[in-house]
Amino acid sequence: KPNATTAASYSVAGNFKGRVDDPRLPQPLTSVSLPFQLTQSELRVQDAEAWAGETRLQMSGSVKGSMTDGLSAASPFSMRLKVEDIELNDQLAKPLTGKFRDAWDKFSPQGKIDADVTVLFDGHEMKTSVVADLLDASIAYYKFPYRLHHAQGQVRFHENTLEVDHVSATAS
């Protein structure tokens, strides 16, 4: 029998399956499989998967709270999102804000990529890392008057550092 100072304890596991239609998303998410585990101090998602048109999304992550306060907006979290065969276009850019929208506007990316995105939040600071494999992309840097087409290679963004590795493209 718990007393007033004992916090309740629980554990729930499940798997959401279905479809997500949200006007904030560029396309509906179909064939969604989102296995989760929830306790009073953690939400964990492992090997979630969905499709957005021809794009495959895979996600794993966790949010950690405290035994006394549970989960909150300030709870530390980690997330990894893998995206295969995504089409870069204006529709995808619409929800972007801040430094992500600034980067999009400076490079005007288009075409197909695979991406691996990691987001970490320690309760105070968020860190984002992106590795993009350019499959057939194009960019038009705002200070360079020519669009580069058929770009292939890898671009990495980590803690405000951009690295370009073996990228080739044609100018027109």
The pLDDT, as a whole number, for residue 68 is: 73
Residue type, position 59, single letter: M
Mean pLDDT of 120-133: 94
CA-wise closest residue to 129 among 152, 98, 161, 106: 161
Q: Are residues 46 and 38 in contact, defined by beta-carbon separation less than 8 angstroms? A: no
Question: pLDDT tens across 15-43, in order?
Answer: 999 999 999 898 999 999 999 999 988 99
CA 146 to each of CA 89, 152, 169: distance values in angstroms, whole numbers, following the listed order: 18, 17, 12
135 within 8 A of 113, measured Cβ to Cβ: yes
Q: Which of 109, 112, 56, 64 is nearest to 84 (CA)?
A: 56
Q: What percent of the chain has pLDDT over 90?
A: 67
Would you say residue 94 has pLDDT above 90? no
